[in-house]
Amino acid sequence: MLEKERNMQASILWLRLDQEGHDGCLLSKAGSGWSLKGQAVFLQEGAPCGLSYEIDCDARWRTRAARVAGFLGGDALHYRFDRLDDGGWVLNGKKQTQVAGLIDLDLGFTPASNLLPIRRLDLRPGVPMPAPAAYLAFPELRLERLEQTYCRLDNNRYAYAAPKFGYDQVLEVLPSGFIVDYPGLWKAIALS
């Protein structure tokens, strides 16, 4: 592992573009793996929503576990995700067979989790790669399979498609893997 990567720590603050909201996230080394910790605050169908999240990954950027806690309107939310050694997923202690075998967790309320397949795949330019993810549908709060594809265009741009949402755009990405321009959805307003 490169010394630069061993000591990597980066943070970002996004402005949500499709509705009122912000999201701040910290990427840091955690033992032999990586950690994403963030807080998203936004309006969801007119109701206030505040969610703290943490995603733990191994050294190869494969999701091991995640936690989401906060509120949506007057309801408290607490979710724990675990990826098992056999590739299965558990949400709050209940097996999630519909996402078995998937490597990445995509939290549907933050752009932070797109960093995981970008770092894990380490794509060469011009090579599209399917990267299906265990997707937390929000505000439904259920795990489902999300078909998505990444294609690195150059050092800081990726073509990204998620056909379920009719989304097919070019994302601008930092060397850390954080997205700084997620057209129509998120834009970075501060980073370190």
pLDDT tens for residues 60-74? 999 999 999 999 999
Strand ordering across the sheet containing 104-107: 104-107, 133-137, 142-146
Average pLDDT over residues 175-185: 97
pLDDT of residue 1: 40
Residue identified by tokens 């321009």 is 181
Q: Give this prediction's pTM.
A: 0.93
Residue 6 has pLDDT above 90, yes or no: no
Q: For the residues of 57-106, what is the DSSP string, one character each?
A: E-TTS-EEEEEEEEEETTEEEEEEEEE-TTS-EEETTEE-GGGTT--EEE
Q: Which domain holds residue 79?
A: 3-191
Number of domains the chain contains: 1
Beta-carbon contacts of 52 under 8 Å, excluding residues fewer than 6 positions away, are: 37, 38, 39, 67, 68, 69, 70
Q: How confident is the model at residue 7 (pLDDT cuts 50, 70, 90)?
A: low
Q: What confidence tens digit (pLDDT) does each residue in 39-65 have?
A: 999 999 999 999 999 999 999 999 999
* Mean of pLDDT over the chain: 95
